[in-house]
């Protein structure tokens, strides 16, 4: 279970050889993006990207004690996402695109009417308002045993490139560009709905009145926060903008779903064998000790935005698909992990073991992070020199995680929910290219020689490994090798030094070096 340079090199070369001619055009007419987009058929889509999260679900999945309460959390999560998907995609409602759920976090896109910035931005704002109202006034009362849920939202508008990963039966829409990124970045994780200046500026004045400007210290930008709004005001706004959301119908669908999926049908268990995430669903969930890994191609948003401005997005997409496929191969084939989902240019992975061996789980997650870093630095940059400005930023965390696949038939998302998942994502988001960020709980499980390669960052409260490639890690492990006999093998393929005999190797105790 390890990463190998030649295997990775061959895989990426094969990905590149088999990749068809990439076509990137501006989307000029309405289309079903799920049918239109593919790995090679990409579109530059002007739209508003919206993220809406209910952060409580991570805490609930982590802290709720096992039994009926835990089943209720699972039931609530499933039903929440089913209804939210209907609200987003309903032709009479928001007529948007539900890209996916990242745990309990919705990523949606509005691009209709084509190039109509005001209308698109309006929908992005109204969706946030509706979902906050839905959670507070419809969903929460239907689940009175849950705590008061908060809603965190963010939206940005602009052009992003839409594409799709090409794996059969495992296809996901991917969006690359600043708006897809910023909409997520302005989320606070607390009860607030925000939009970027770009969204605010194209809103009709009647909507702008509901916003106040605030400074986002993390990003050093001004964003606009939606203030309180009454039910009457919301209904008025929905009516003005032809959004036909019926809260009574939403409530009825929730009640119907509760009858179809009562608590006694919701099951969860630990994993006795390796999880097949695609076999999971509302009645079959897993609660496992697992490590989450997020690997992000840092600098990619800037790279694709610049290449798109120069009318040369094809090269960037070629890089993306090569990196993406290789990240997936590393997770699944090299380290037997679960590739949960792609989120634009980042991959989310999960590692568990049937017996819940935390030490081995943590070590494997960190080995995977090192492999992702190695591929970016040694393989991708060798084969695709145009990727030289990119890096790999990785975050890791371990904890009890709810694993499932949820949504509506034919459109279900793999989800992993836990505080550990959110932590791993945060650790990655705070990391620059070349960094692997791990908390103390992961660090303490690493072997001593590997620990020495991580440096404690007091400000972040994390251990950071910088530019850790597989060869460097292997060599760090060899630091204790030279006091005993070593085996040297050499020939046309190069020379190697190891502690174990290999065919044709010569053994001796290395001389003690001397400084003249």
Partner 1 sequence: MYRHPRSGTKPKSWFERSKGQQLLQQQQLLVKAHYPCLAFQVDSESGRMLLEGDFVLKADCGILTTIRIRIRFPSNYPSSEPVAYDVGAFFPRDVDRHILPSGGFCLWLPPCSPWDEADPNFSLLRFLDEVTVFLERQLVCDATGGKAWPGPQYKHGKYGYLDFMLSILEGNEEHLNALLPVILGKILPGRNEVCPCGSQLKYKRCHAGRVEHIVGRIGRDTLDFFFKDSGKKDNSQAQRSLGDERKSA
Q: Rule CB under 8 A: which residues touch partner 1? A: 2-7, 374, 378, 452-453, 469-476, 478-483, 486, 488, 490-498, 506, 508, 510-516
Alpha carbons within 13 angstroms on the beta-carbon side of residue 382 total 12
| DSSP state letter for 281 | B
CB of 477 to partner 1, least distance (A): 9
When the beta carbons of 26 and 452 are compared against partner 1, the nearer one is: 452
Phi-psi region of 480 (alpha: psi -120 to 50; beta: other; left: phi over 0): alpha
DSSP 120: H
Whether 172 and 164 have beta carbons less than 8 Å apart is answered as yes
* CB 436 to partner 1: min, Å: 15
Nearer to partner 1 by C-beta: 253 or 478?
A: 478
Contact 287, 269 (CB under 8 A): yes
With respect to partner 1, which residue has the nearer C-beta, 229 or 476? 476
Nearer to partner 1, 4 or 408 (CB): 4
Q: Cβ closer to partner 1: 192 or 375? A: 375
Give the other-Cβ count within 10 Å of 366's Cβ. Answer: 28
Least distance CB 1 / partner 1 (angstroms):
12
Nearest approach, Cβ of residue 435 and partner 1 (Å): 16
**Nearest 5°: phi and psi at 287?**
-125, 105
Nearest C-alpha neighbor of 268 from the set 254, 246, 249, 287: 287
Smallest gap from residue 471 Cβ to partner 1 (A): 4
Give 222 or 498: the residue with its C-beta nearer to partner 1.
498
Q: Are 266 and 69 in contact (CB under 8 A)?
A: no
Nearer to partner 1, 31 or 378 (CB): 378
Minimum distance from residue 434 beta carbon to partner 1 (Å): 15
Report in angstroms how near the CB of residue 166 gets to partner 1 at its nearest: 27
Query: Which is nearest to 76 in space by CA: 248, 266, 341?
Result: 266
Minimum CB separation of residue 348 from partner 1 in Å reads 24
What stretch of H or E contains 175?
strand 173-176
Least separation in angstroms between CB 396 and partner 1: 20
Question: Between 27 and 453, whose beta carbon lies closer to partner 1?
Answer: 453
The C-alpha angle with vertex 81 and arms to 99 and 210, in degrees rounded to 5, equals 80
Query: For residues 285 and 375, which CB has a smaller minimum distance to partner 1 in the complex?
Result: 375
Q: Give the helix/strand (H/E) hosting 181.
A: helix 178-185
Do residues 157 and 121 touch, judged by C-beta distance below 8 A?
yes
28-34 contacts at long range (C-beta below 8 A, 24 or more positions apart): 28/114, 29/114, 30/112, 30/113, 30/114, 33/97, 33/109, 33/111, 33/162, 33/173, 34/97, 34/173
Q: At what angle do helices 231-240 and 117-133 cross, to 10 degrees?
A: 150
């Amino acid at each position: 279970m390890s990463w190998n340079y030649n295997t990775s090199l061959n895989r990426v070369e094969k990905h590149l050889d088999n990749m068809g001619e990439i076509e990137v055009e501006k989307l000029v007419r309405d289309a079903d993006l799920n049918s239109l987009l593919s790995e090679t058929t990409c579109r530059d889509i002007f739209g508003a990207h919206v993220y809406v999260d209910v952060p409580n679900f991570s805490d609930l999945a982590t802290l709720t004690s096992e039994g009926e309460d835990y089943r209720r959390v699972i039931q609530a999560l499933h039903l929440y996402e089913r209804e939210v998907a209907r609200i987003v995609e309903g032709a009479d409602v928001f007529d948007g695109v539900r890209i996916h759920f990242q745990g309990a976090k919705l990523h949606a896109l509005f691009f209709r009417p084509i190039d109509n910035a005001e209308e698109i931005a309006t929908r992005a704002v109204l969706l946030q308002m509706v979902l906050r109202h839905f959670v507070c006034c419809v969903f929460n009362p239907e689940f009175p045993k849950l705590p008061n849920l908060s809603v965190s939202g963010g939206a940005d508008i602009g052009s992003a490139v839409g594409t799709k990963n090409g794996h059969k039966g495992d296809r996901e829409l991917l969006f690359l560009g600043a708006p897809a990124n910023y909409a997520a970045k302005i989320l606070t994780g607390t009860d607030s709905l925000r939009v970027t200046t770009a969204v605010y500026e194209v809103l009709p004045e009647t909507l702008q009145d509901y916003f106040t400007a605030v400074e986002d210290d993390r990003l050093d930008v001004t964003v606009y926060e939606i203030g309180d709004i009454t039910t009457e005001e919301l209904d008025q706004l929905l009516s003005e903008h032809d959004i036909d959301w019926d809260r009574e119908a939403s409530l009825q669908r929730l009640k119907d779903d509760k009858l179809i999926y009562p608590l006694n049908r919701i099951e969860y268990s630990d994993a006795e064998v390796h999880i097949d995430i695609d076999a999971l669903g509302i009645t079959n969930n897993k609660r496992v000790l697992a490590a989450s890994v997020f690997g992000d191609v840092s600098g990619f948003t800037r790279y694709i935005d610049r290449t798109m401005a120069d009318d040369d997005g094809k090269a960037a997409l070629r890089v993306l698909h090569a990196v993406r496929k290789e990240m997936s191969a590393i997770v699944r084939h090299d380290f037997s992990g679960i590739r949960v989902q792609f989120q634009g240019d980042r991959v989310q992975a999960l590692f568990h073991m049937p017996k819940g061996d935390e030490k081995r789980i943590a070590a494997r997650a960190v080995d995977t992070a090192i492999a992702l870093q190695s591929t970016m630095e040694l393989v991708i940059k060798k084969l695709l020199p145009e990727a030289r400005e990119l890096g790999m930023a990785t975050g890791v965390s371990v904890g009890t995680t709810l694993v499932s696949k949820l949504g509506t038939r034919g459109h279900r998302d793999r989800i992993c929910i836990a505080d550990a998942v959110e932590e791993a994502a945060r650790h990655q988001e705070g990391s620059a290219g070349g960094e692997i960020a791990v908390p103390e709980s992961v660090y303490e499980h690493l072997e001593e020689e590997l620990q020495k390669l991580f440096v404690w960052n007091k400000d972040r409260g994390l251990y950071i490994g910088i530019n850790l490639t597989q060869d460097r890690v292997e060599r760090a492990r060899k630091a204790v090798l030279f006091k005993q006999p070593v085996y040297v093998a050499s020939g046309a393929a190069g020379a190697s030094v190891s502690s174990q005999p290999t065919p044709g190797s010569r053994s001796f105790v290395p001389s003690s070096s001397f400084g003249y």
